Amino acid sequence: MTPDEIEELRKAAAGQDPRDVARRLGRPVKGLLSKSHTEGIPFRRKWSEAEYQALRDGHAQGRQLTDIADELGRGYAAVAKMASHMGLGFKREARPPANGKPAPVRVSLAQAVQFLEYQGHYVVEMAKGTFIVDGRASYDPYGLALRVNRMRKERSESPFVVVDLPEPRS
């Protein structure tokens, strides 16, 4: 950019739409914004009442934040930040993994034991990290995690990933 264009950019940064300035200078919008950043020119486009209303309407209609950002011609981060300032929560829906299997749930060993107890099993932890289930079956922590995941698989629930298993003994 020429020094004259940079000076015009400084004047325009006070509130003009960068798309209009880029058109007037015959420059791409991203190039103009990049140059304004490297020159230390804060190019912040003020939000119009119509943009605020479009954000409110999009939230009320349950639209995706990315779609609203594209419609407004603003970056996703800027629209997400403004939505947060306005108290508009755009919750992401949980999507199943691409492989179609339920996503694993990270739990502690104690939570895995609680799951068994909740399912009506009697679990007692013995010395040396051994678990007795229903008074007859003995499991080490790994075996207990496998039993829990077999049960969860039968119920079509997400598998547990037990995060605090002790190091295996040799």
pLDDT tens per residue, the chain (170 residues)? 788 888 888 887 777 777 788 888 888 888 888 888 888 887 777 788 999 999 999 888 888 888 898 888 888 888 988 998 888 887 755 555 667 666 777 788 888 888 888 888 888 888 767 888 888 888 888 888 888 888 888 887 878 888 777 776 65
Model pTM?
0.40
pLDDT for 170: 56
Three-state DSSP at 125 gives: strand
pLDDT for 53: 93
User: What tokens appear for 87 in the block?
Assistant: 């108290």
Q: Domain coordinates of the chain in residue numbers?
A: 3-38, 49-85, 105-162
State the alpha helices, DSSP H only, in the chain: 3-12, 18-25, 29-38, 49-60, 65-72, 76-85, 109-118, 141-154
- CA 18 to each of CA 28, 64, 67, 76, 94: distance values in angstroms, whole numbers, following the listed order: 10, 24, 20, 16, 36
Other CB atoms within 10 A of residue 149 CB: 19
